[in-house]
Structures are given as C-alpha cells and as structure tokens.
Amino acid sequence: MSRTYVITGAASGIGKVTAEILRERGETVIGVDLKDVEVAGDLSNHEGRLAAAAEAAQLAGGTVDAVIPCAGLSVMKPVTVAVNFFGMAEFLEALLPALGRSEAPRVALVSSMASLQPVSTALVDAMLAGDEEQALSIAGSLAEASPESNPIYSSSKRAISRWVRREAPTEAWGGAGIPLNAVAPGTVVTPMTKDLLASERGRAMTDAYVPMPLNSHQGAESIAHLLIWLTSVENTHCTGQTVYCDGGADTVLRGDDVWSWNDEAMARKFREIGARLRG
C-alpha cells in the first residue's frame, strides 16, 4: 500500500533525490520548498512553517505516514538557525496530528556530522528552550563578530540532534508510536557544496574537517536510502538516534570509545533504579 510522505527541501539536494526515489517506488510525495514543489512555503519564520504544515496535511487528506525534513542552510547567518532548527522542530510539531492518524507514522530528519564540531553553548541552549528570538539574537552577535567563521551552522545541527534525542521517548512521539530519528551526512555532493568542492583548496579544507575514509564524498542517494528505511514500516524500534552516514568521519573524530566518559553517570542512574525497585 502506498504511503504518503511530506519532504521539506524537496526542490534540491537530498530532499529532491529522496522524493524522486520514493515516487519511483510508487509512494505519494508532498514536497515543501520555496518553489517548484507541491507546497511553496518559507520555513524561516513561524507563520510560514504553520502554513506549510497545514497545506501539506490538507493535500495529504489529513493523514501523513512519514515526514522527512531535509530543508537546511549552511550560511553563517541567523537565518540558518531559523531554518535548520525551528524550521524542522516547529514544522514537525505542527504535523503531529496528521502523523497520529497514520497506522505506521515515521519521522527522520537531516542533521549533520557538523554536530560534532565546536558550537555556541548559549545558542544551542536557546534553540532547545524554544526561544527563537533569543537564538536569532545570539546568532546575530556571532555573525557580526565573525562573519566568515562562526559556529552558527554546527550549533543548529547539534541542537536538532539533541532535540531528536530529547523528544523521541516522550508521549507525543515514542508514546504515540512514532519513531523519530536523524541522519548525519558527511560531505554530500549537492548544489550547496558544489562551489566549495570546486577548488583544490576548498576540497582540502573540507576533508580536514570532515575526514571520510570510506568512499570519500557521498552522493545524496546514500542519505536518501537511509532516510527512507528509517521512515519505512520496517523500522519499529530505532528512535532517538542520529545515524552518522558520513564515510567514517564520526569514528575518525571521536575514536573508538564514546561510552566511558558517561560510565559514572550511568552507574549512578542504575543505583537509583535499584534503590527504587527495592522500595
């Protein structure tokens, strides 16, 4: 049976490729972007997000089986925060009622391995607090202080991955039977990275920050196929994850042990659980 997908950023890059693959498989796709899609919407502001979500739900007949938010920006300006975090989180929350009518609702969004890079803690905290005005103000200060190099993009991706992890086990998502995940690409060859990868200097800089020992720079389809599996009926228990589909960049940068830093905190948590169980 055909499933109905809502995909943001469907006019280019990962979103476009994902939509094309799904349509070839006979699925119904409602694309959301600034133009050349079913729903023309601006996800950089509150009104635009709600309007786009409402129109997408209406076109879907009130029931959406899966949402794949791909729309994103990499410019070092406040608008990146508006689109990359609030344009995903608020749009998804607006579509929760339509997802709730599906027999197998699923969500998978695009984060980035840049979530591992240095961030502005204040900016991440403002995004996670849902304070868009404050987040945009902080991003504006960062952009003014350093227009060519600032942590706005990495902060937006760290925040959206943390939002996924925070929200996934809640009643609104996990409790409603909705797996919520993210995919973190490495360097994807798309219109957004075309200029950067066109020069030897740009490629060298990119590879220094995003080392990809497995097959180097990736095509958008490598991310599309993972997004499609995460939003398929086969995914019944994977939730709250940021899956690093990045040619090995995560493992190079973080190494083989991403557990022991948290051992004491987990031991304390299990002691607390044991104490509660013993009454």
Active site residues: 153
Give the separation between CA 192 and CA 82, rounded to whole angstroms: 17
Structure tokens at 170: 């809640």
